Amino acid sequence: MTDGAGAVAWRLPGTLPPVIPAPVVRVLALLFALLWLFPGFGLIDLTVTWDEDWPVVLEAGWGLFFTVVVAVPSVAVAVRPRRAAASIVQLAVGAAALVVGGLVSVELGAVVLGVLVALEAALFAAVRDGERVRPVRLATDRTLLLLAAVAAVPWLVYAIEMAELDRDGSAESDITNGVDHYAVQAATALALVALVLVAAVWPRARRLCGLSAASVAVYLGVVSFSSPGTPGGFDRTWSGACVLWGAAVAVAAWRGGRSDHQRGPRSETAERQAVTSRVAP
């Protein structure tokens, strides 16, 4: 189905009934964010990414995944619980990446973490009078789509390599909460491709998903460039490419989000009215 602007509208199957009051979701979202940042070691692992006594790229991957991909949308929900659609989708992407990365790596702990993130996303989808993910109106940003396509093969190859290192068990690694970092490193690569693809085709998530992916790529590239030869790292050419790609995604996501807002405030309002009207019985 298409709307007047040529965007595609997809209606997804129903989600949980919107029964949880927004103040309750706000508190739960904050608790989830703190969970991923501290017991989940998101923020803690980021603090050692410049300490050469640690496998800094693997620490960065874990820290970035649970801070940026998971905790940031949780904080966004805590701030605006009734405008959570983009956060829900980013959490769903993170959950899927963890499950796939865990299965390919044969790392059950990563799969369990993915299920927990998926449950969090489902909980946020049940906020009363909140923004619904559906209907999904697609409008492609060609620059972001090109950036996703260009990086898809390198990131997928990297994810496969990280999963192989996890399964092999002979490479230097680190274990956090019973989970090998290589499995989460594979999930990080998968999430980067998926987040940029979502940003490319769905205007409501363009800035959150695009800027999240960009920040992960840039930071990971900088850490890898500064510590050549570290486990999970790239050579300096690929590290630089990672930084440049992330910077390009950031610019495209910011500009795309701004142009969407400037081009269609009326259509955006109409879409949100259509989305929220589905909350009513």
**Nearest CA among 63, 110, 72, 112 for reference residue 91:** 72
Q: Which helix (H) or strand (E) holds 137?
A: strand 136-138
Output the pLDDT for position 17.
62
Domain ranges of the chain: 8-268
Which pLDDT tens digit goes with each residue over 173-212?
899 999 999 999 999 999 999 999 999 999 999 999 999 9
Output the pLDDT for position 82.
93
Q: What's the CA gap between 190 and 49, in Å, rounded?
A: 21
Output the pLDDT for position 257.
76
| pLDDT over 70, % of the chain | 85
Which pLDDT tens digit goes with each residue over 79-94?
999 999 999 999 999 9
Of the two residues 64 and 128, the one the predictor is more confident about is: 64
The length of the chain in residues reads: 281
Averaged over 224-244, what is the pLDDT? Answer: 97
Tell me the average pLDDT of the chain. 89
Enumerate the β-bridge partners of residue 179. 176
Of the two residues 98 and 274, the one the predictor is more confident about is: 98
Q: What's the CA gap between 95 and 119, in Å, rounded?
A: 9
What is the torsional sign of CA 264, 266, 269, 273? Answer: negative
Averaged over 39-59, what is the pLDDT? Answer: 97
Q: Given a cut of 70, is residue 269 above it in pLDDT?
A: no
Residues whose CB is less than 8 angstroms from the CB of residue 12 and which lie 6 or more positions away in sequence, other chains included: 133, 134, 135, 136
Averaged over 33-37, what is the pLDDT? Answer: 98
Q: Which helix (H) or strand (E) holds 9?
A: strand 8-10
Output the pLDDT for position 129.
83
Output the pLDDT for position 119.
97
Averaged over 52-61, what is the pLDDT? Answer: 96
Averaged over 103-113, what is the pLDDT? Answer: 98
